[in-house]
Amino acid sequence: MSKDLSFEIHLQILDQLDQASVLQYQRVCKNWKRPASQKLVQNVKFQDGKKALQFINMIVASPELGKYVKHFQGIGGAPIEESALPTLRKFIQCIPQVETLVLPGYGKTLLHIAEELNKGNLKHLNNLGFPDWYSVKPCDYVKVLSAMKYLPKAISFNLTEFQEKHEEPFTLRDPLLTKRPDLLEEVKDLHFFTFSSTTIKDLDDIVNKCPVADNLSIFVKDFEDPDNRLMEIQPNMNIKKLDICCTYYTKVCVQYICKKFPKVKHLQLQDYDFYEYEEDYKLPKAALNMLKKYALGMDTYSIMLEGQRTPWDFNGSRKSK
C-alpha cells in the first residue's frame, strides 16, 4: 500500500477491510509519515456497524492514533453487539480530541461517555448521537446531559419506549423529566419514539419543557385529546423542523399541529400501518384544507397520507409554488 495514495483512496480501502486485514492495515498506518496517518483517522464515517467496529479495534490497538480522531460516525447497517461494549469503552478513552461522536448501537455506551465527561475528558465534544433508537433510554441521556452541563444542546434528546403489549397508553410523565426539567432547557433536537398511544397533553408537556428546541420528530401510534385540552395549547415559536409519523391523523391531530407549531419551515407528515384504518376512513375535508393551507407557508413540505380511502400525497416547496 503506497504512502503516495490519496487520503480518499485510503479511506475507501479502510471501509472495505475484513477482519484479517485489520492488523496489516494497522502496521501500514504506523509506518506512514505522521501527517498522513493523522489525516486518515481525522474524519471517518461508516454505514456498517461491523466496519465501524474494525476501525474501533484498530484505534484501541494503536491508541497513539486515537488523539487525531476528530469526527467519528458509525451509522446504519448492523449494530455493534453487546460483547463489544468493553472495546467501545476503551475507544472512547482513546479519542480525547473528538468533536463529533455517533456510535453504532447500545445506549449503555452513553454511561461510559458520561463517565469520561465527569473525569474532565472529552472537552471538545459538541455533537453526540446514537442511531439505535431501541437501546437508548431517557435515563441514559439524562446522565450524559448532567455530565455535559457546559454544552447540553449538543445532545439530541431521545424519548424512546418499546412494549410487547400495547393496551396501556404510554405517557411522558416520567419522574426523570418532572424532577430534572432543567436538563431539557437547552436541548435543540427532540425525538419522541413509541409504538403506543399518547395524548396531546403529554406530548405538549414535553415540548414545553424544551423551550429552545428547533427540531422535533415524533413517531407514535396515535395522539388524541381525551382531556379536551386543545383550547389551552400555547403556540411554540421555535420549532422550525417538524417530522411526524403516526398510524392515523384525526381532525384534532391536525388542529394541534397547526396551532402548536406556527413557525415551522420544513414539514413532513406521514402515516403507517395502514391496516389500522377503518375501511372507509377519511380525514374530513376541512382538516385536509387546513393542512394544505398550513403546508403552503413552509419552505419545504411533504404530506403522505396513504391509509385513507383516497390516498393523499401533497409535497413541494416555496420555490415550486
Q: What pLDDT, on the 0 to 100 scale, is given for residue 181?
A: 67
Give yes or no: residues 131 and 24 share one domain.
Answer: yes
Answer with the one of 90, 120, 150 that is the final residue of a domain: 150
Q: 3-class SS at 219? A: strand
Is the same domain home to 318 and 203?
yes
Tell me how far apart the alpha carbons of residues 149 and 255 are, in angstroms, rounded to a whole number: 36
CB-CB neighbours of 276 under 10 Å: 14
* 144 has a pLDDT exceeding 60: yes
Predicted confidence at residue 225, as pLDDT, reads: 86
Higher per-residue confidence, 304 vs 238:
238
Same domain for 199 and 131?
Answer: no
Query: What pLDDT, on the 0 to 100 scale, is given for residue 111?
Result: 78
Q: Tell whether 268 and 282 lie within a shared domain.
A: yes
Residue 141 has pLDDT above 70, yes or no: no
Give the pLDDT confidence of 222-246 residue by residue, as tens digits: 888 887 888 889 999 999 999 998 8
- Between 147 and 120, name the one with better pLDDT: 120
Q: What is the CATH number of the domain that holds 14?
A: 3.80.10
Asked if the structure places residue 178 within a domain, the reply is yes
**Domain check: are 211 and 300 in the same one?**
yes
- pTM for the predicted model, two decimal places: 0.60
DSSP-assigned letters across all residues of 100-157: EEE--S-TTHHHHHHHHHHTT--TT--EEE-S-GGG--HHHHHHHHHHTTT-GGGBEE
Q: Domain range for residue 265?
A: 155-321
Task: Count the domains in the chain.
Answer: 2
Task: For residues 170 and 317, state if they share a domain.
Answer: yes
Query: Residues 154-187: pLDDT tens digits?
Result: 555 555 554 434 444 444 444 445 556 676 777 7
The backbone torsions φ and ψ at residue 89, rounded to the nearest 5 degrees and listed phi first, read -60, -45
Tell me which of 125, 150, 175 is where a domain ends: 150
CA-closest candidate to residue 158, choices 128, 178, 180, 179: 128
Residues 176 and 271 in one domain: yes
Let me know if residue 239 belongs to a domain: yes
Q: What is the pLDDT of residue 300?
A: 93
Q: Are residues 134 and 183 in the same domain?
A: no
- Do residues 214 and 300 share a domain? yes
d(CA 233, CA 112): 39
The last residue of one of the domains, among 120, 150, 180, is: 150
Cell numbers that stand for 321 in this block:
409554488
Instruction: Write out pLDDT tens, residues 72-97.
Output: 987 665 566 778 888 988 999 999 99
Query: Does residue 4 lie within any of the structural domains?
Result: no
159 and 129 share one domain: no
Q: Which residues pair with 217 in a beta bridge?
A: 191, 243
Please report the pLDDT score of residue 262 as a whole number.
96
Does residue 255 have a pLDDT over 90? yes
Cell of 75: 451509522
Is residue 1 assigned to a domain?
A: no
DSSP 281: -
